[in-house]
Amino acid sequence: MALFASARTSPDHIMTTSAQQRAKAPYWSWPGLIEGARLSVPLLPGMVVFAAAFGTIAAQKGLTLFETVLMNAIVFAGAAQLVAMEIWSGPLSFGTIISIAVVTAVVNARFVLMTASLRPWLGPLPAWQVYPALLLTTDATWIVGIRYHASGGTDASIYLGAGLALWALWVVTVIPGYLLGAVVVDPARFGFDLMLPIFFMAMLVQLWRGPRRSIGWAVAGGVALVASWLLPGWWFIVIGAVVGSIAGGFIDD
Amino acid sequence: MTDLVSGPIAAIVAMTLSTYLTRVSGYWLMGHVPMTARVRRMLETLPGAIVVAAIVPIVARSGAPGLIGVGVTFVAMLLLRRNEFAAVALGLTAVALSRAGGL
């Protein structure tokens, strides 16, 4: 009977705990900044190699060192920067600049979804505090933050700390890549081109909340795969994730 | 526009503005959508959905090394609970080895 009672109350207990976590207000802290930087450490080697490789490509495309560092500092979006280099040519016309901006937005469209998913966590904080932190959003910043929040944490400094650590390294390590282009090895040789799916897989294991929640994930994977066959570029992430999360929304708790 | 600043600087600023737009618009939008139970479940599904939607096509494109790398990472995460650094390192090593092996 006790066992029966505990089995009956256990889901309620989990619900209460998760409701309490949801209700727990987000806050900022200095230790959180350090912890956020620490949580981003597994991503740093991949970041270094990626930044160095980008520096080499930017040098080949004729950007000055100042322009390269500036781009890393204020754009801070590796995949979009690489794609922009593909269409970056000679004297940039107004039309080329517009198409570079549009292509950048398309490659970064996944950030729209990523920051949307941060609303339940950061929503209670004042807008003037949240929006500057959101400017540090990258795949790496987001996955560190969302993993931390999924395990019950609400310290917003984790997001800021991870973002600042990744940003600082991204800005600094592009310089040797730019200056020593020939020295930089092919990232693919060490598997760093597959850093994103590998790190995402590590995080996915920790986002797991039972088979019911993952029906939407399966839908997302299937739709993304089909989209990647039919459409060019990075649209598959956005399309798969939108359809998958809508499916998740229609599955009752 | 290009007369006032050099072309590359104008392009970098344009990239910055369009990137910032993607970084704030989703968060802003969700502040203007009523948080019903359905929207809450959608947002709870969203992080995993983004992750899976990124992994599956990239791995499918990269062939055997990608599949091996992601598979090794998955198994390592199950065995080495909460040690993502080791799991990621093992996954990357698996990719490098399978490529060196000619896969």
Assembly ipTM: 0.84
Q: Which of A24-38, A58-72, B80-94 has the lowest mean pLDDT?
A: B80-94
Give the pLDDT score at A185.
Answer: 61
- Contact predicate A88/B11, CB 8 Å: yes
Q: Residues 6 or more apart from A208 whose CB is under 8 A from it? A: A214, B48
- Contact predicate A83/A105, CB 8 Å: no
Based on its alpha-carbon atoms, the radius of gyration of chain B, rounded to whole angstroms, reads 20
Confidence of residue A9 (pLDDT cuts 50, 70, 90): very low
How many structural domains comprise chain A? 2
Tell which A residues from 1 to 40 touch B, by Cβ distance under 8 Å: none
Question: Of the residues A207, A227, A242, which one is the last residue of a structural domain?
Answer: A207
Please check whether residue B21 touches A, CB under 8 A. yes
Please list every residue in chain B whose beta carbon sits closer than 8 Å to the beta carbon of residue A249. Answer: 38-39, 41-42, 45
Say yes or no for a CB contact (<8 Å) between A120 and B43.
Answer: yes
Q: Which two tokens stand for residue B80?
A: 């080495």
The boundaries of the domain holding residue A105 are 26-207
Nearest Cβ partner of A217 from B52, B87, B88? B52
CB atoms within 10 A of CB A223: 22
Q: Residues 6 or more apart from A88 whose CB is under 8 A from it? A: A61, A63, A96, A100, B11
Domain match, A245 and A132 both: no
Q: Is B102 helix (H, G, I), strand (E, B) or coil?
A: coil
Nearest Cβ partner of A41 from B17, B35, B85? B85
Give the pLDDT score at B52.
Answer: 93
Say yes or no for a CB contact (<8 Å) between A198 and B91.
Answer: yes
Choose the most confident range, by mean pLDDT, from A77-86, A198-207, A235-244. A235-244
Domain match, A138 and A236 both: no
Give the pLDDT score at A35.
Answer: 96
Say yes or no for a CB contact (<8 Å) between B54 and A224.
Answer: yes
d(Cα B37, Cα A16) in Å, to the nearest integer?
16
**Angle formed at CA A38 by CA A66 and CA B66, multiple of 5 degrees:** 80
Mutate to test the interface with B, among A54, A85, A117, A235 (most CBs of B within 10 A): A117
pLDDT at A64 over 50: yes
**Domain spans, chain B:** 1-33, 46-103
Average pLDDT over residues A208-225: 90
Tell me, yes or no, whether A11 lies in a domain.
no
Distances (CA, A) of A174 to A52, A82, A139, A236, A250: 5, 13, 18, 29, 45
pLDDT at B30 over 80: yes
Closest CA–CA distance from residue B4 to any residue of chain A (Å): 12
Confidence of residue B29 (pLDDT cuts 50, 70, 90): very high
pLDDT at A4 over 50: no
To the nearest whole number, what is the mean pLDDT of chain A? 85
Give the pLDDT score at A52.
Answer: 85
d(Cα A58, Cα A177) in Å, to the nearest integer?
9
Domain match, A202 and A233 both: no
- Entry pTM: 0.80
Tell me, yes or no, whether A10 lies in a domain.
no
Please check whether residue B103 touches A, CB under 8 A. no
Confidence of residue A75 (pLDDT cuts 50, 70, 90): very high
Domain match, A216 and A193 both: no
Domain match, A131 and A243 both: no
Please check whether residue A117 touches B, CB under 8 A. yes
Q: Which two tokens stand for residue A140?
A: 């790496």
